[in-house]
Amino acid sequence: MDFRSTNAEIFVPDGSPEPAALARTSHLSIAAHQDDIEIMAYHGILECFRARECWFTAVVVTDGAGSPRDDYYADYTDAMMREVRKHEQRKAAYVGEYAAAVQLGYPSSVAKDSERDDPVEDLMAIVQACRPEYLYIHNLADKHPTHIACALRTIEALRRLDYRANLKGFYGCEVWRDLDWLPDEEKVTFDVSAHENIAASVLGVFDSQIAGGKRYDIATMGRRHANATYYQSHGTDVATAMINAMDLMPLLESPDLTPAGFMKAHLDGFALKVLDRINAIQ
């Protein structure tokens, strides 16, 4: 593919030709950093693992150069970290048996610059090549600015392509803020209890983050178990691990709906439900 980013690469674990590898994609995730996808979109990875009728493709927008580092990686330069993180993402793609892993390699500053159209153009090209039925991105309540930027760039790409009719599901997922606060009727829940060893493995390959000072592996698995236990207060657990997500399809169905307006409606609705509960009981 002819990307705008000069740092872009496509890794195909099973060695298939790139066009064919992308074209077989049924589940696609677009995220800001290496390891974000394994945290937030494990449902898609699990759905496609050893299921040859569907395939998972991962897209990472930024180069990961600004990640925190410690221990073995304490003295690594940004250039060294870029290479380590790219290599780790390839490992995750191999372990999870992805159709492909696309790493665009943009600096975070470019992803966050709304005046730079290159990331949107590249995402449009990827979506057209993959033609996914299901798409996982960062949720719009995430507190990481690069995560929000990459979600907004993806929404813009989908709107330009008028891709709504091709999607069966479009989800905003948990990384730097969970979605337990969403009212149950607005929450999309994914049962990811199966193959916990694979879940741990695709997270565990990101040694530069884990040994480098951030235990995303423990935190992510713990959040999934907590989501399952706290899913409902008046019933026994229906799963041992769950991921919460936000349905983002309204943003494609209503072109005039802004991302900020979409989130304001969710936040106002949450505030009203909390206050109504208090007022009904006091």
Residue-averaged pLDDT of the chain: 94
> How confident is residue 221, by pLDDT bands cut at 50, 70 and 90?
very high
pLDDT at 208 over 80: yes
* Nearest residue to 209 (alpha-carbon basis) of 96, 77, 42, 70: 70
Residue-wise pLDDT tens digits, 42-70: 999 999 998 889 999 999 999 988 887 77
Confidence (pLDDT) at 263: 96
- Mean pLDDT computed over 219-230: 95
pLDDT of residue 213: 77
Q: What SS3 class is residue 182?
A: coil
Residue whose structure tokens are 């870029």: 82
Confidence band (pLDDT; 50, 70, 90) for 278?
very high
pLDDT of res. 279: 95
Domains of the chain: 9-256 (3.40.50.10320)
Question: What's the pLDDT score for residue 153?
Answer: 98
pLDDT of 57: 98
Rounded Cα gap, residues 132 and 58, in angstroms: 11
* 106's tokens: 């943009």
Q: What is the mean pLDDT of residues 192-213?
A: 91
Sign of the Cα torsion 87, 152, 215, 82 reads: positive
- Give the per-residue pLDDT at 59: 98
For the cut 90, the answer to whether the pLDDT of residue 33 exceeds it is yes
SS3 assignment, position 109: helix
Q: Is 54 helix (H, G, I), strand (E, B) or coil?
A: coil
For the chain, give the percent of residues with pLDDT over 90: 84
What pTM did the predictor assign?
Answer: 0.95
Is pLDDT above 90 for 75?
no
Residue 230, CA distances (Å) to 9, 185, 201, 227, 233 in order: 40, 15, 25, 5, 7
* Rg of the chain, C-alpha, whole Å: 19
Closest CA to 171 of 135, 142, 131, 123: 135
| pLDDT tens sequence across 144-192 | 999 999 999 999 999 999 999 999 999 999 999 999 999 888 999 999 9
Bridge partners of 281, per DSSP, are none
Average pLDDT over residues 194-217: 91
* Beta strands at 169-173 and 187-191: parallel, antiparallel or unpaired: unpaired
